[in-house]
Structure 1
Amino acid sequence: MDEQIFILTNDAGEEQRCRVVFNFETDEHSYVLFTLINENGESTSDITALRYELDENGEMASFEDLETEEEWAMVEEVLNTLVAEFDQDQLNFFTVAGEDGEDIVCQVLHRFEANGKNYLFYGLADDEEKTEIFASAYEADENGMIIDLVPIETEEEWAMVEEMLTSLTDKEQ
């Protein structure tokens, strides 16, 4: 998805580039959540919000400040929901370093615990068919994010993992 950028003019008449984080509509208004960005495209502010209307080209225009506490509360609720969903979705992805040193994004397919250890099945995120499924033990941070993959070392451990994969595969069929 292409990044959306728009320009605001501040009180001093200076143009400021802004990156759209999310936009949404209610029955009465359209809103944009955004951050200010510098010439390198790096965010230079926290996320904030404005109301807007679309111009004749379908572009965001006629930006206005939010006026009431109720309006700010509604926008904050949308932002909190987005953050919660994003954080939850992030638990399903992690990166590993490939042989060439590049990051490879992996998708968690299933997590389970056995014998006091955490395990997971995962595949490459860009492999929609999940033609290859990998297994590993793992360590997670306090939020459940995968911080380290731990090798499966014993034949007994592999047998248990393979049995779990077989049982999951049998359930799907």
Structure 2
Amino acid sequence: MEHGEDRQITIIDEEGNEILCNIIMTFESDDYGKSYVIYSPVGQEFDEDGDPIYHASSFIPAEDGEDGELYPIESDEEWEMVEEVLNTFFDEEEGE
């Protein structure tokens, strides 16, 4: 996983294509003992209905300060927790 100061990462999709994504937010979960990143593909921020597209992965930061590996989120409980954090994030942004 790579990202610069502009808060972007490059991910590799199932077909092996590199996709540049904007990082929406990162956070840590004490319940799961993991860090999470929520990101949106550059140039593909919305689906055909105009709804925002978000992806989320867990990651384990590397010890030397470099980026760690991205891992899929596999349990429904984790997805619900991620969605809750994302919704809270957007509610706070709208409130400012």
Runs of 5+ consecutive residues of structure 2 not aligned to the other structure:
47-51
**Residue 37 of structure 1, aligned match among 18, 42, 56:** 42
Instruction: State the secondary structure of the residue aligned to 2:56.
Output: strand
**Over alpha carbons, which structure has the higher Rg?**
1
Shift of 1:57: 4.3
Distance in 2 separating the partners of 1:59 and 1:6? 13
User: TM-score with structure 1 length normalisation?
Assistant: 0.45
Instruction: State the secondary structure of the residue aligned to 2:68.
Output: strand
Identity %: 31
Distance in 2 separating the partners of 1:5 and 1:68? 26
Higher strand share: 1
Match for residue 88 of structure 2? Answer: 81
User: TM-score with structure 2 length normalisation?
Assistant: 0.78
Equivalent pairs counted in the alignment come to 85
CA RMSD in angstroms comes to 1.8
Deviations, residues 47-87 of structure 1 (Å, cap 9, x unaligned) = 22100122354233311111111000000000010111011
Deviations, residues 26-53 of structure 1 (Å, cap 9, x unaligned) = 1210000110114xxx735612210012
Match for residue 63 of structure 1? Answer: 70
Runs of 5+ consecutive residues of structure 1 not aligned to the other structure:
90-173
